[in-house]
Structure 1
Amino acid sequence: MSIFCSGKGKRLRQAKEEATAEIDHYRLHREKEFRHKQSNIMGSQGNLSTKIEDQTTEKIQAVTSNYHKEMESMMKKLLNMVYDIKPEIHLNYKSTDVSIAV
């Protein structure tokens, strides 16, 4: 009976070793697939961030050029409004000027 038990134990150890080797092989294969997918995804995200940065730079340049183009005309309009003062008495103003008759 001890021969049978030692043979059974040997087969169990061998099966365990084979299963461990299979698990390790499967794990390495899945990790390799994961790294490949991750690099594909991260690569596309890197491209997206580059595109977004380029678009942002273009928009900033457009706004800056528009600012410089319109700044002079707006300053002229603003200064004209400041310089073109038409003094007049407000409707609610009540004169407190009392004429003294001599």
Structure 2
Amino acid sequence: MTSQSQGIQQLLQAEKRAKDKLEEAKKRKGKRLKQAKEEAIAEIDHYRLQREREFRHKQSNIMGSQGNLSTKIEEQTTEKIRDITNSFHKYMENVMKQLLNMVYDIKPEIHPNYRDAV
């Protein structure tokens, strides 16, 4: 009987060791899963930051070129306004003289469509 009880004791000890090994394996698996999850999150964050940098770079290139276009348009508009103002000042006096001459030099004439009432 003692050999049977020793055999039972050995089986119980072996079962306990197997449970302990199983517990240890579960803990290691949990640690590995947690570590893999943390690494994946870090990799995702790194990828997201890289993509955001690329997006901002492309956006600044596009917006920068639009900014250049707007400054170019502003310069052209300013130049046109300057030209029109110069033209105005250059021809204003002659146009005013012609206009005043037309107003002051009235030549009364009978309209060609007017019929005598006689």
Residue by residue over 1:24-73, the C-alpha shift from the partner in whole angstroms, topping out at 9 and shown as x without a partner, is 11112112212221222222122112111110111001111111122122
Match of 2:60 among 39, 44, 61: 39
Q: Which runs of 5+ in 2 are unaligned?
A: 1-21
Report the RMSD for the aligned CA atoms in angstroms: 2.2
Following TM superposition, by how much is the alpha carbon of 1:5 offset from its aligned partner in structure 2, in angstroms?
2.2
2:5 maps to none
Residues 58-69 of structure 1 aligned to structure 2 (within 5 Å): 58-69=79-90
Following TM superposition, by how much is the alpha carbon of 1:20 offset from its aligned partner in structure 2, in angstroms?
0.8
Q: How many residues align?
A: 96
Query: TM-score normalized by structure 1?
Result: 0.76
Rounded to whole Å, the distance in 2 between the matches of 1:89 and 1:64 is: 41
Rounded to whole Å, the distance in 2 between the matches of 1:43 and 1:89 is: 68
Where in structure 1 do 4 or more consecutive aligned residues deviate above 4 Å?
Answer: 88-92
Q: Which runs of 5+ in 1 are unaligned?
A: 93-102
Which structure would you say has the larger Rg?
A: 2
1:12 maps to 33
Secondary structure class of the residue paired with 1:87: coil
Rounded to whole Å, the distance in 1 between the matches of 2:23 and 2:91 is: 100
Following TM superposition, by how much is the alpha carbon of 1:89 offset from its aligned partner in structure 2, in angstroms?
6.2
Stretch of structure 1 that moved more, 49-58 or 28-37: 28-37
Q: Percent identity?
A: 74
